[in-house]
Structure 1
Amino acid sequence: MLKQAGSFNINTRIRENAEDLSAALQSHMLKVFAPDARKELRLFSAGETADLLGISTSFLRKLHFDEKIDDVQATSGGRRLYSASDMLKIRETLEKTAKVKGTYQRGRKPGDKVQVLSFLNFKGGSGKTTSAVHTAHRLALKGYRVLCVDIDPQASLTTLFGYAPEVDFLDSGTIYDAIRYDDPLPFSQIVQKTFFTGIDLAPGGLLLQEFEHETPQALRANIQPPFFARLATALQEVEADYDVILFDCPPQLGYLTMAALCASTGVFITIVPNMLDVASMSQFLQMSADLLDVVSDAGANMEFDFMRFLINRYEPNDGPQQQVVAFLRQLFEEEVMIAPMLKSTAISDAGLTQQTIYEVERAAFHRNTYDRAVDSLNLVNDEVEQLLQSAWGR
C-alpha cells in the first residue's frame, strides 16, 4: 500500500501500519496452516525416539518384539513413527524396571523444588525467545513437565505456540490477569494447553504493559503482594504440576522482569558475541544489580541455584566473535555455558513458519545444516538439563 507524501498524523499512520501488518501476518499463517487448525507436533522416527529416551534403536525394537510397549503408527514401508505421547508412555514402562529410579523419568521427586528459569537481557535481538522455546521443547521431549510463561508484551513466545495474541488474548487471558492489582484471577484460569505434549502456556500480550503502568500507583497505595512478589505468589497455585517453569522476559529491565527474577531459581542471560552487545550487557548487569538491591532490601528472595551466560548466534569461523567469547570465558569462567547456540539458517528458516528446529522435519532442510543446528541446540539444552539435575542434588 503506497503512502502519500506530505504531513500526516503519526498515530493514524502507526495504526494503519499495524492493521496492514496484522492482515498480512494473518494471510501468511492461513497459507501455512489450515484456517481453523491449531499447530500439531510432528511424529518422530525410531532413531530420534531412541535418542530422546536414552536407549538404542535395537532395544526399542526389542521392546516392540517382546510386546512390552504398544504398537505405534507406521509408514507404508513399515517405519515406526512415535508421537510425544507415545514417548511418555514408553518412559513410564521403562522406569518401572529401571535399576536406578529417575533414569527415564528425570523430573522432580518428592522434596525437589520446582525449577524456575528466566531468559533475559536488556538488548532486543539477543535470542531470549529462541533460547526459551527451544529449551522448553527439548525438556518436554525428554519427559519434563514444562510451563512457559510469556511476560513480554510483544508475546513472541505465545505466537510460537500457535496463538495470535492480538486476536486470542486481546482483552483477557494473559498472564496479566493473574498478576494485576485489581481482582486478579487464579493462575490456573489463564494456563493454556499447547499442541506440544508436556508443555502448558501462560500467554503474553499487550495488556502486560498495563502492569508496568499500574505498578507505581500500586506502590504508593501499598497494595500487597508488591510487584516483585506477584509472579511468585501466583505461581504457587500451579507449581506442583510442573518440573520446570520458564519465563521469556521483555527486552527491558522493568517491573515484569524484576518480578520474574524474584520468582526464579536460575537465570540465563543471552548474549550475542560482539563488543556492542557486550557493552550493552555491562550496563544491563549494573542496572540489574542496583535495582535488585532495592527489591532485596524490600524483602525479595534473591537466592538462586545458578546463573549462566548463554552465547547466542555464534559463528565459529568468525574471528572477532571467537575473541569476544574467549574474553567472556576468561572473565566469567564457568558462568559462561560450555555450549554456544550456533547461528543457523535452519533455525531462521523454521522461524518463517513460526516453528522451532525440533518441530520441523529433517527432510525440509539440507541434512548437514539441519544436523548442525540440532546438535548445537541439543548440547545447549542438555547442559541446561544438567544444571536442573544438579540443583536437585543429582
Structure 2
Amino acid sequence: MQYGNSTLTRDETPSEKISRYSQTLSGQLHRLRQELYPPEAHKKLRPFSSVDVARLIGVSESTIRQLDLDGEGPSPTRLANGRRSYTLEQINEIRKVLAARKRGDEAVNILPFRRAGEPLQVVACANFKGGSAKTTTSTHLAHFLALRGYRVLAIDLDPQASLSAMFGIQPEFDVEPNCTLFGALRYDDERRPLTEVIRRTYFDNLDLVPANLELAEFEHIVPSAIASGMSSGEDIFFRRVKNVLQEVDDRYDVVVIDCPPQLGFLTLGALFAATGLLITLHPQMLDLASCNQFLGMSSDLMGVIENNGGEMSLDWMRFLITRHNPNDSPQTRVVGLLRALFGEDVLTAPALESTAVANAGLEKKSLYELEPGSIGRETLKRALESIDTVNHEIEDLMKASWGRKL
C-alpha cells in the first residue's frame, strides 16, 4: 500500500505511522517556510508609501512630505521613482513628532497610547466551533491595532498554534519547551515570568506569546493543583492569566487573545482576564447551534467562577459575523435572526467572505501585509474595507471603555 512517496508496512503500529506522518509534514512545512521567507526564513513587514502613512496617522500627505523636507522625524527610503517609503517603526516615530505638537484629544488621536487611569484592554476571541475564523479575526485585529499606533500583545492560547503560524512561527521548530504561556501559568518550580516568553515580532509595537502543544498540559495539571491546594485563593486557575498579564500591564495598551476551540481551563482563564469578548460566528445553522452550546456552557462555567469568588466584568461582548456572503439567502436569514435576537451586541459590520483573505492565508499573511498588486486591486480593496470597518468598530468599543471621545 502506498500514499504518495510513503510505503505503509504491516508491522508499523498506528502510533509509529502517525509519528512518521507528523515528521514528514513538519519537514515539508519547514521547507516551505524557508522558500517563502529567504534567506533567514523570517517574515518581514512590507514598507508603506507616504499616502499609506497619511492614512494610518490621519493627517494629509502634504504634512508627511513637509516633515521630511524640514528634516523632522525619520528619513524615508527614496525609491527609484522618487517616492518615499517608510517602515512601521518610522511611522511610529512620525506619530511621536506630530503628537508633541498637539494637546489633549488631538495628541491622543495621533499617538493613541493609554493615558493615566485607562486600564489595559484584553480582547478574547472565542468560540469552540472550528472554521469560525477566530484566528483570522485575532490576527487582523492585532495587526490593525499595531498599524493604528497601539502597543499590542498577541497571545496564542491554542495548542494548535495557528496564530503563531500567521506570524511565521512553526511551533515544533521555533518554540522551545516552556516558552509558551504555559511557562508563566504552571504551578511548579519551572514557572517563569511572562516577560521571558514574550517575543518581538516584525511589526513594531506588536509582541507575541507563541503556542505549541505544551499548552495542553495546563488542562492536565490544574486538577492536580486543585487537589493539592495549590490552585486556590489568588492562585486559583481562573485567575492565572489575569495575574500574569499584570506583570506587563505598563507595556501595552491592548492584549488580543486567540482562545482554543474548547471551554477548558485556558479559555476560562482568558475569559476571566478579558475586558472585551468577541465571539466569531459563521452564519450557518449548524454554527448557530454550536454557538448556542458554547453560550450555555460558558454561562454555567462563569457561574461556577462567580460562586468561587471570581468577579467577572466585561466592558463589552459582541458577536462578529464572519465569512459572510451577503448574496447567500440562508446566511442572510441567519444574520437577520441574530440581529433580531441580540441587537447591538452583534457588530454592525460583518467580515465578508473574500478570496483575498484566503489567498493571504496561503502565505500566512493578513490583508495588511499584502503588497499592492499582489492580488486583484478591487478584490483587495473590498476585503480591506470590510475588515477595516470591523476593526474600527472594535477600536471604538475600546475607546468607549477608556471614556475617550469617538
Q: TM-score range by the shorter chain?
A: over 0.9
Question: Take 2:54 and 2:333, find their aligned partners in 1: how far apart are those partners?
Answer: 38
Three-state SS of the structure 1 residue aligned to 2:178 is coil
1:206 aligns with 2:210: no
1:70-149 correspondence to structure 2 within 5 Å: 70-99=74-103, 100-149=106-155
1:161 is aligned to 167
1:175 aligns with 2:185: no
Three-state SS of the structure 2 residue aligned to 1:236 is helix
Question: Take 1:70 and 1:219, find their aligned partners in 2: how far apart are those partners?
Answer: 54
Deviations 1:33-79 (A, max 9, x none): 11533211110112211111011223322333344433311210011
Question: Take 2:299 and 2:332, find their aligned partners in 1: how far apart are those partners?
Answer: 28
2:236 is aligned to 226
Question: Take 1:345 and 1:44, find their aligned partners in 2: how far apart are those partners?
Answer: 23
Letter in 2 for 1:260: A
Question: Take 1:348 and 1:114, find their aligned partners in 2: how far apart are those partners?
Answer: 32
Contact map agreement 1:170 1:205 (CA 8 A) in 2:
no
Question: Take 2:298 and 2:11, find their aligned partners in 1: how far apart are those partners?
Answer: 41
Structure 2: any 5+ residue segments left out of the alignment?
none
Report the TM-score, using the length of structure 1 for normalisation: 0.97
Q: Displacement of 1:331 after TM fit? A: 0.6
Deviations 1:74-128 (A, max 9, x none): 2100111111011111111111122533120122101110000100101111111
Contact map agreement 1:148 1:247 (CA 8 A) in 2:
yes
Question: Take 1:269 and 1:223, find their aligned partners in 2: how far apart are those partners?
Answer: 32
Question: Take 1:172 and 1:161, find their aligned partners in 2: how far apart are those partners?
Answer: 19
For residue 63 of structure 2, the aligned residue among 50, 59, 64 is 59
Contact map agreement 2:126 2:258 (CA 8 A) in 1:
yes
Question: Take 2:74 and 2:292, find their aligned partners in 1: how far apart are those partners?
Answer: 53
Three-state SS of the structure 1 residue aligned to 2:108 is coil
Three-state SS of the structure 2 residue aligned to 1:237 is helix
2:265 is aligned to 255
Report the TM-score, using the length of structure 2 for normalisation: 0.94
Runs of 4 or more consecutive aligned structure 1 residues displaced over 4 Å after TM superposition: 5-8
Letter in 2 for 1:223: M
2:33 is aligned to 29
Q: Displacement of 1:7 after TM fit? A: 8.0
1:307 aligns with 2:314: no
Letter in 1 for 2:323: R
Three-state SS of the structure 2 residue aligned to 1:252 is coil
Deviations 1:245-276 (A, max 9, x none): 11110000110000000111000000001111
Letter in 1 for 2:392: D
1:279 aligns with 2:286: no
Provide the aligned C-alpha RMSD in A. Answer: 1.4
1:291 aligns with 2:295: no
Aligned residues with identical type, % of pairs: 43
Three-state SS of the structure 1 residue aligned to 2:279 is strand
For residue 347 of structure 1, the aligned residue among 330, 351, 357 is 357
1:268 aligns with 2:275: no
Q: Displacement of 1:13 after TM fit? A: 1.7
Deviations 1:204-255 (A, max 9, x none): 1110010001111111112140110111111111111000011110000110
Question: Take 2:258 and 2:7, find their aligned partners in 1: how far apart are those partners?
Answer: 36
Deviations 1:253-307 (A, max 9, x none): 1100000001110000000011110010001100010011001111223111000
Contact map agreement 2:157 2:259 (CA 8 A) in 1:
yes
Three-state SS of the structure 2 residue aligned to 1:118 is strand
Contact map agreement 2:34 2:41 (CA 8 A) in 1:
no
Contact map agreement 2:35 2:41 (CA 8 A) in 1:
no
Question: Take 1:36 and 1:91, find their aligned partners in 2: how far apart are those partners?
Answer: 30
Figure out how many residues of one structure are paired with residues of the other and give that number. Answer: 394
Question: Take 2:118 and 2:211, find their aligned partners in 1: how far apart are those partners?
Answer: 28
Contact map agreement 1:154 1:206 (CA 8 A) in 2:
yes
1:185 aligns with 2:192: yes
Structure 1: any 5+ residue segments left out of the alignment?
none
Q: Displacement of 1:148 after TM fit? A: 0.7
Three-state SS of the structure 1 residue aligned to 2:107 is coil
